[in-house]
Amino acid sequence: MSHILAIDQGTTSSRAILFDADLKIAATAQEEFTQHYPASGWVEHAPSDLWASTAATCRAALEKANVRPADIAGIGITNQRETTLVWDRATGQPIHNAIVWQDRRTSAMCQRLKADGFERQVTETTGLLLDPYFSGTKLAWLLDNVDGARARAEAGELLFGTVDSWLIWNLTGGARHVTDATNAARTMLYDIRRGAWSDDMCRMLNVPMAMLPQVLDCAADFGTTRADLFGREIPILGVAGDQQAATLGQACFEPGMMKSTYGTGCFALLNTGATPVSSENRLLTTIAYQLDGKPTFALEGSIFIAGAVVQWLRDGLKIIREAKETQPLAESADPGQDVVMVPAFTGLGAPYWNAECRGAIFGLRRNSGPAELARAALESVGYQTRDLLEAMHADWSATGATGGAATLRVDGGMSASDYAMQFLSDILGAQVDRPQVLETTAMGAAWLAGQRAGIYPGQQGFADTWALQRRFEPGMDAATRDAKYAAWKRAVAAAQVF
């Protein structure tokens, strides 16, 4: 048994990646699925799509690599976080579509809870903010709006889960209703300091605790797959939410280490060690990973729009056909123009958390064109990352910690852009390291399962395998850096006033 099968269930597609005994990729399969938008600000997935695409890509990856199920030592799962599902305990049938993490339908509920004075308790207990982003209010909405759901939940007939729980339930034929600590920590129902579901949070949202899954370590025995799925039973040995899995895949095991993943959005995590750090800058306190019953905590900052700004250039403005065209276009921009783009298409994430803010462009001139817009779009990701890192450093240094992140490890699709990563290094005034393997999310899930199965090394041995593809060094002088960042801050302030 020399391979690990990693399931990477994302927001727009499901992927299966097969890793060999040397943690090298043997095969990959991917399948996109439909996004549902039943109302403005609402985003849903069909639960059957999540499950069917996952099962199909797993089979396809095995077939591509010509690997037998008997060769698979275990399965690791990483998933889109906060997306919320409820299904029947007896039949496994969902009561409604999955409500996706991007969904904003519970904004009014969050505002009411804030007005009632609950946000401080939410933050102290869960490390999160009162925001529709998280699972708890989505679950409450389902119980309140699906006919008969609350009565069935209170009778013990319904189960709640994030996507990992839903996949495990189906993989095991309904034998296991479990999750891991990183996914539990994103629900707004979990006490991250006690390591248990919170009576107070469940009472606040009127959620029956019997619905909640058992919480396990990230590397644990999550059950075995049905024999008919892949030809034999395969143990599920590792689970972590996507951003936490990327933190593991980047081998950010030491306090002060930091990674930033650039996909549709951007998510930066700073390892803070065994102690949860409370943020004074509206960052999230969360669990980075939990092994051997011991949680390691992190500060997390979320940017809603990163790679999505390039998609907007392509699909909205239609000034590019492919993402790779942004680099030469940006390089050709007029150096005398300082166009600043605030891509707040769905509001601003950390450290602002302004759901009502919308996008804006400043500094346009008569001869501004596609090149200047492309450059401003790429640079907006660097500016937003600096916002996150400055907030993180302020919270981290407030604990008395020294030696924080002098280097940022990056991954995700947008990290392939040399222009974006060089500007990121310039505006941060820090090294930016891009690894040889950009599939860090799937690798983190694979490592969890593989080390549990005994075919991959422990933390130090795995960290030693991390390999640099390219290091970006800051080349911008301090005066230019400060002037450009000050212009960004003025633009953000103006966008929030509009």
Q: Are 272 and 396 in contact (CB under 8 A)?
A: yes
- Known binding residue 386? Answer is no
- Known binding residue 13? Answer is yes
Amino acid identity for residue 300 in this structure: E
Structure tokens at 191: 């006490």
Preceding omega of 351 cis (within 30 degrees of 0):
yes
Write down how long the chain is.
498
Interatomic CA distance for residues 287 and 6, integer angstroms:
21
Other Cβ atoms within 10 Å of 157 Cβ, number? 17
Q: For 322-331, b where at least 16 C-beta lie within 10 A, e where not — what string?
A: ebebbbebbe
- Known binding residue 133? Answer is yes
Residue with tokens 């689970």: 239
Structure tokens at 182: 């990183």
Mutual angle of helices 163-171 and 47-65, in 10-degree steps? 60
- Known binding residue 290? Answer is no
- Known binding residue 30? Answer is no
- Known binding residue 15? Answer is yes
- Known binding residue 243? Answer is yes
Interatomic CA distance for residues 404 and 342, integer angstroms:
28
Amino acid identity for residue 454 in this structure: G
Alpha helices in 130-180 (DSSP H): 135-145, 149-154, 163-171
Interatomic CA distance for residues 279 and 223, integer angstroms:
36
- Known binding residue 307? Answer is yes
Q: Are 47 and 94 in contact (CB under 8 A)?
A: yes
- Known binding residue 311? Answer is yes
- Known binding residue 485? Answer is no
Query: Which residues are annotated binding-site positions for sn-glycerol 3-phosphate?
Result: 11, 81-82, 133, 242
Query: Which residues are annotated binding-site positions for ATP?
Result: 11-13, 264, 307, 311, 413
Query: Which residues are annotated binding-site positions for ADP?
Result: 11, 15, 264, 307, 413
Query: Which residues are annotated binding-site positions for glycerol?
Result: 81-82, 133, 242-243
Query: Which residues are annotated binding-site positions?
Result: 11-13, 15, 81-82, 133, 242-243, 264, 307, 311, 413
